[in-house]
Amino acid sequence: MNVTVTINGAERSADVEPRVLLADFIRSDLGLTGTHIGCDTTSCGVCTVLVDGTPIKSCTMFAVQANGRSITTVEGLKQNGDLSAMQQAFHEQHGLQCGFCTPAMMLVGTAFLEENPNPTEDEIRWAISGNLCRCTGYVNIVKSIQAAAQATTEGANA
């Protein structure tokens, strides 16, 4: 079947079997390997992408279901060639170690701050509780999202 999506702002098409998972479609057919696969059961969240702005675990969605929709992956986070506030915050706050969960964490964090620009620590922890990390104990991931929230708010007020 032909699947056409807008991914990180660009329209892309490929012919895939109906059973092909969105994660495989993004990684193999579209060649964007920043989206990872960690569990196949919607548990770990490392495959999370934004579909029409909403975080979706792409290992549990078929590529055909994304037909005609707009997808954002980690490769699309940069804005005007610069790191986004979220990317910058993960770097500044040491929000990543092995980097495997990082693209998904940043995407979830980005979508969450759209909804809730001034979250509490508990709200951040709840928001990322669908995404596992084995390296950081979540401490600096939470700090990164807090720092991104602050940077975004300050940027908007400036």
Partner 1 sequence: MTTTAEPHTPPEIGGIGHSRKRVEDARFIQGRGNYVDDVNLPGMLYMAIHRSPLAHAKILSIDTSAAEAVEGVIAVVTGELLAGYNLAWMPTLSGDTQAVLATDKVRFQGQEIAAVIATDKYIAEDAATLIDVEYEDLEPIVNPQRSLEADAPLIRDDKEDQETNQCYEWESGDKAATDAAFAAADKVVSLETHYPRSHPAPLETCGIVADVNPATGEATLYMTSQAPHAHRTVFALVAGLPEQNIRIISPDIGGGFVNKVPVYPGYVVATAASLVIGAPIKWIETRTENLISTGFARDYYMKGELAVSNDGKIEALRVEMLSDQGAFYSDAQPTKFRAGLFHIVTGSYDYQYAYVTTRGAYTNKATGGVAYRCSFRVTEASYMIERLVQNAAYEIGMDPADFRAKNFIQPDQFPYETPTGFVYDSGDYEAALNEAKRIVGYDDIQAEKEAARKEGKLVGVGIASFTEVVGAGHGEDYDILGLKMFDSAELRVHPTGKAILKLGVKSQGQGHETTFAQIVAEELGLPADDIKVVEGDTDNTPYGLGTYASRSTPVAGAATAVVARKLRDKAKTIATHLLEASEEDLEWETGKFFVKGDPESSVTIQDIAFAAYTNPAPGTEAGLEGVHYYDPPNMTYPFGTYIVVVDVDAGTGQWKVRRMVAVDDCGVRINPMVVDGQIHGGLAEGYAMSSMQHITFDEAGNNLGSNFMDYLVPTAWETPRFELGETVTPSPHHPIGAKGIGESATVGSPAAYVNAVVDALEHLGVRNIDMPVSGDRVWAAMEEASG
Q: Which of 5, 30, 32, 85 binds partner 1 (CB under 8 A)?
A: 32
Please tell me the count of residues contacting partner 1 according to CB under 8 A: 57
143/140 Cα distance (integer angstroms)? 5
96/111 Cα distance (integer angstroms)? 18
Residue closer to partner 1, measured from CB, 31 or 158: 31
The interface region with partner 1, picked from 43-51, 64-72, 110-118, 146-154 by CB under 8 A, is 43-51
CA angle 74, 85, 120 (to 5 degrees): 105
Using CB under 8 A as the binding rule, whether residue 37 contacts partner 1 is answered as yes
Q: Binding to partner 1 (CB under 8 A): which residues in 123-142?
A: 124-126, 128-142
Give how far Cα 98 sits from Cα of 31, 94, 133, Å: 21, 11, 9
List of E strands, the chain: 2-7, 10-15, 48-51, 54-57, 70-72
Q: Binding to partner 1 (CB under 8 A): which residues in 69-108?
A: 73-75, 77-78, 83, 87, 90-92, 94, 96-103, 106
The structure tokens 């940069």 sit at 78
22/91 Cα distance (integer angstroms)? 28
Positions that interact with partner 1 (CB under 8 A) = 17, 19-20, 24, 27-28, 32-41, 43-44, 46, 73-75, 77-78, 83, 87, 90-92, 94, 96-103, 106, 124-126, 128-142
